[in-house]
Amino acid sequence: MREPLRPPKPRRLNNLMAEAAYADEVRPVGSHSVPDPNIRPPRFSQDSVETADEPVTAEEGFYDDDIDDAGFSADADYLDDTGYVDGAQYPDEDDFADEQVAESTQSEPSKVARMSDRWRERKREARKITLKRIGMLLGTLAVLAGIGWVLFFSPLFIYKYSATDIRGVEADSIIDPVLVEGVVIQRDGQALLLIDKGELAADIIAAVPEVKSADISLSLPSSLSIELTAHEPRACVGEVGTCVAVAADGTELNVPDQMRSSLIRIGGLPENLDREAILSDIFEILDLLGDDIRATVLTVDIANNGMITFTLTEGRTVNWGVADDNEMKAQVLATLLERSAYYYDVSIPLSPVTS
């Protein structure tokens, strides 16, 4: 009895084509002729069809070991009465393609449903993330608003004026603490962190010219530290009894009478000369003279042409000339003052004159 052939159930179109070709080659459709033993049946797989040139015997047959990895075997519906494959019973390519399309069409709604579910799930997750971010932003803004209120509007950080806030004003200082207090107290009740330190310092200097600088710092939670530095009066500009004390930069100062009388007096400054420039030249010359000679200077007079004359103690007079070669003139004058004389002319330092 012949061993029946058991080909695998075709799973792909290329397998169908290979199987149909094999059936036509072995025997015509509907015949029961004996297969040619010299034709080896193809080995089926899901992706390719292999053929072999070696003959196959009836005893070797076509068993499950020649089937692809899926392990399918021939369906009984595809066998004839003798147990051989009836090629006419196999579905053709069009039938198989229709089956694939039908299966794909039947599964399409479920795929669409799954995709819709996943899309809705992703949308929900995106909405959650957005709401979370909005919540975090609102929380951060609330915290910042709370901190801002505490720092700028809370009574805890409101400035409260105290006389101890003003420092650097000694008993003999030319700075009037009452005038400084009148400026600072205007900031009382303001938020400490909103007080402009630069503006406050400028207001103090404008109101109290004797203040050279004001170093202001915050002292939490509700105080200021105001360190003042006073100008140093260098001379008194004007006539005797009416002169005005001035600082090195020409700032006019309000000083006690006793202090004003002890200052070097500078006669009236000519209107045709730059006040600031001529005062700067005079103070430069006084600094070059040294402490000993400067202590003997009583007055300084300036002519319209810029010629400078010093009056010293003991009725001595120094003709300085214009403000040039100041360093050389100071050295020459220091040497000449060792001689007893009443008049010293250093306007030409290389040719000094005494008499």
How is 140-187 classified by DSSP, letter by letter? HHHHHHHHHHHHHTSGGGB----GGGEES--TT-SS-HHHHHHHHGGG
At residue 147, the pLDDT reads 74
At residue 10, the pLDDT reads 46
List the strands of the sheet with 308-312, edge to edge: 252-253, 244-246, 235-237, 264-266, 297-302, 308-312, 317-321, 343-345, 353-354
The rounded mean pLDDT for the chain is 77
Band of residue 127 on the pLDDT scale cut at 50, 70, 90: confident
Q: Which of 82-96, 132-146, 161-175, 326-340 has the lowest mean pLDDT?
A: 82-96
Given a cut of 70, is residue 167 above it in pLDDT?
yes
In this prediction, residues 131-141 reach a mean pLDDT of 87
Q: Could you tell me which of 338, 296, 330 has the C-alpha nearest to residue 313?
A: 296
Query: What is d(CA 319, CA 353) in angstroms, rounded to the nearest whole number?
Result: 10
Q: Which of 137-141, 183-187, 342-346 has the lowest mean pLDDT?
A: 137-141
Tell me the per-residue pLDDT of 262-293, one tens digit each, with 9 for 90 and over. 999 998 788 888 888 999 999 999 999 989 99
Query: What is d(CA 144, CA 150) in angstroms, rounded to the nearest whole number?
Result: 10
SS3 198: helix
Per-residue tokens: 207: 């109101």
Q: Which of 41-45, 69-73, 139-143 has the lowest mean pLDDT?
A: 69-73
Tell me the per-residue pLDDT of 22-32, one tens digit each, with 9 for 90 and over. 555 545 444 44
Q: Which of 117-121, 147-151, 157-161 has the lowest mean pLDDT?
A: 147-151
SS3 51: coil
List the strands of the sheet with 211-219, edge to edge: 166-167, 223-230, 211-219
In this prediction, residues 221-232 reach a mean pLDDT of 92
In this prediction, residues 296-311 reach a mean pLDDT of 93
At residue 131, the pLDDT reads 86
Q: Is residue 126 within 8 Å of residue 154, measured between CB atoms?
A: no
- For the chain, give the number of residues: 355
Given a cut of 90, is residue 229 above it in pLDDT?
yes
Angle, alpha carbons 154-156-158 (nearest 5°): 80
Q: Give exposure, 312-328, as e/b (b: 16+ Cβ within 10 Å).
A: beeebebbbbebeebee
Cα of first residue to Cα of last residue in the chain, in angstroms, is 163
- Amino acid in position 353: V
In this prediction, residues 100-127 reach a mean pLDDT of 71
Phi, psi for 314 (deg, rounded to 5): 65, 25
Phi, psi for 230 (deg, rounded to 5): -90, 150
Q: Is residue 334 within 8 Å of residue 312, measured between CB atoms?
A: no
Tell me the per-residue pLDDT of 48-68, one tens digit each, with 9 for 90 and over. 444 444 444 444 444 444 444
Which pTM value belongs to this model? 0.57
